[in-house]
Structure 1
Amino acid sequence: MAGPAWGPPRLDGFILTERLGSGTYATVYKAYAKKDTREVVAIKCVAKKSLNKASVENLLTEIEILKGIRHPHIVHLKDFQWDSDNIYLIMEFCAGGDLSRFIHTRRILPEKVARVFMQHALQFLHERNISHLDLKPQNILLSSLEKPHLKLADFGFAQHMSPWDEKHVLRGSPLYMAPEMVCQRQYDARVDLWSVGVILYEALFGQPPFASRSFSELEEKIRSNRVIELPLRPPLSRDCRDLLQRLLERDPNRRISFQDFFAHPWVDLEHMPSRESLARATALVVQAVKKDQDGEAVAALSLYCQALDFFVPALHYEVDAQRKEAIKAKVRQYVSRAEELKAIVSSSNQALLKQGTSARDLLREMARDKPRLLAALEVASAATAKEEEAGGEQDALDLYQHGLGELLVLLAAEPPGRRRELLHTEVQNLMARAEYLKEQVKMRESHWAAETLDKEGLSESVRSSCTLQ
Structure 2
Amino acid sequence: MASSSSYAPPKLDDFILTERLGSGTYATVYKAYRKGESREAVAVKVVAKKTLNKASTENLLTEIEILKTVRHPHIVQLKDFVWDSENIYLILEWCSGGDLSRFIRSRRILPERVARRFLQQMDFGFAQYMSPWDEKSVLRGSPLYMAPEMVCRRQYDSRVDLWSVGVILYEALFGRAPFASKSYSELEEKIRSNQRIDLPPGARVSKQCRDLLLRLLERNPDTRITFAEFFTHPFVDLEHMPSAESLGKAKDLVLQAVQKDQGSEWSAALSLYCSALEHFVPAIYYETDQQRKDVLRKKVSQYASRAEELKVLVASDNKLIFEEARTSRDVLREMSRDQPRLLAALEMSSEAIAKEQSGLDDNEALDEYQQCLGELLLALAAEPQGRRRELLHSEIKSLMSRAEYLKKNIKMQETQRDASLDREPLADSVRSSCCVQ
- 2:215 is aligned to 246
- 2:397 is aligned to 431
- 2:353 is aligned to 384
What amino acid is aligned across from residue 253 of structure 2 in structure 1? L
**C-alpha contact 1:315 1:324 (8 A) present in aligned 2:** yes
1:170-319 equivalence runs, <5 A: 170-319=139-288
**C-alpha contact 2:145 2:164 (8 A) present in aligned 1:** yes
What amino acid is aligned across from residue 400 of structure 2 in structure 1? A
Distance 2:423 2:176 in 1: 33
Q: Shift of residue 259 of structure 1?
A: 0.8
Q: Give the SS at the match of 2:330.
A: helix
Distance 1:217 1:346 in 2: 56
- 1:12 is aligned to 13
How big is each residue's C-alpha offset from its partner over 1:380-407, in whole Å with a ceiling of 9 and x where there is no partner? 4344334323222321342244235435
Distance 2:48 2:349 in 1: 71
Tell me, yes or no, if structure 1 residue 394 matches structure 2 residue 374: no
- 1:145 is aligned to none
Structure 2: 5+ residue stretches without partners: 425-437
Distance change (3 Å), C-alpha of 1:40 and 1:62: same
What amino acid is aligned across from residue 102 of structure 2 in structure 1? R
Distance 1:433 1:22 in 2: 56
Structure 1: 5+ residue stretches without partners: 130-159, 415-419, 458-469
Distance change (3 Å), C-alpha of 1:233 and 1:110: farther
How big is each residue's C-alpha offset from its partner over 1:127-148, in whole Å with a ceiling of 9 and x where there is no partner? xx1xxxxxxxxxxxxxxxxxxx
Which range moves more in the overlay, 369-378 or 343-352?
Answer: 369-378
Which range moves more in the overlay, 396-405 or 13-22?
Answer: 396-405
**C-alpha contact 2:17 2:31 (8 A) present in aligned 1:** yes
1:33-432 equivalence runs, <5 A: 33-126=34-127, 129=128, 160-321=129-290, 323-362=292-331, 367=335, 370=338, 377-389=346-358, 390-391=360-361, 392-406=365-379, 409-410=382-383, 412-414=384-386, 420=387, 424-425=390-391, 427-432=393-398
**C-alpha contact 2:253 2:275 (8 A) present in aligned 1:** yes
How big is each residue's C-alpha offset from its partner over 1:82-109, in whole Å with a ceiling of 9 and x where there is no partner? 2233221111122222322322332211
What amino acid is aligned across from residue 430 of structure 1 in structure 2? I
- 1:150 is aligned to none
Distance 1:269 1:21 in 2: 32
Distance 1:364 1:239 in 2: 31
Distance change (3 Å), C-alpha of 1:32 and 1:400: same
**C-alpha contact 1:313 1:448 (8 A) present in aligned 2:** no
Distance change (3 Å), C-alpha of 1:344 and 1:31: same
**C-alpha contact 1:13 1:34 (8 A) present in aligned 2:** yes
**C-alpha contact 2:31 2:43 (8 A) present in aligned 1:** yes
How big is each residue's C-alpha offset from its partner over 1:196-235, in whole Å with a ceiling of 9 and x where there is no partner? 1111111111211112233232222212222112124330
- 1:448 is aligned to 415
Q: Give the SS at the match of 1:388.
A: helix
Q: Shift of residue 439 of structure 1?
A: 4.3
Distance 1:58 1:409 in 2: 59
**C-alpha contact 2:348 2:368 (8 A) present in aligned 1:** no
Q: Give the SS at the match of 1:172.
A: coil
Q: Give the SS at the match of 1:15.
A: strand
When normalised by structure 1's length, the TM-score is 0.80
Distance 2:40 2:299 in 1: 38
Distance change (3 Å), C-alpha of 1:45 and 1:56: same
Distance 2:374 2:33 in 1: 62
**C-alpha contact 2:249 2:279 (8 A) present in aligned 1:** yes
Question: What RMSD over aligned residues (CA atoms) do the two structures have, in Å?
Answer: 2.7
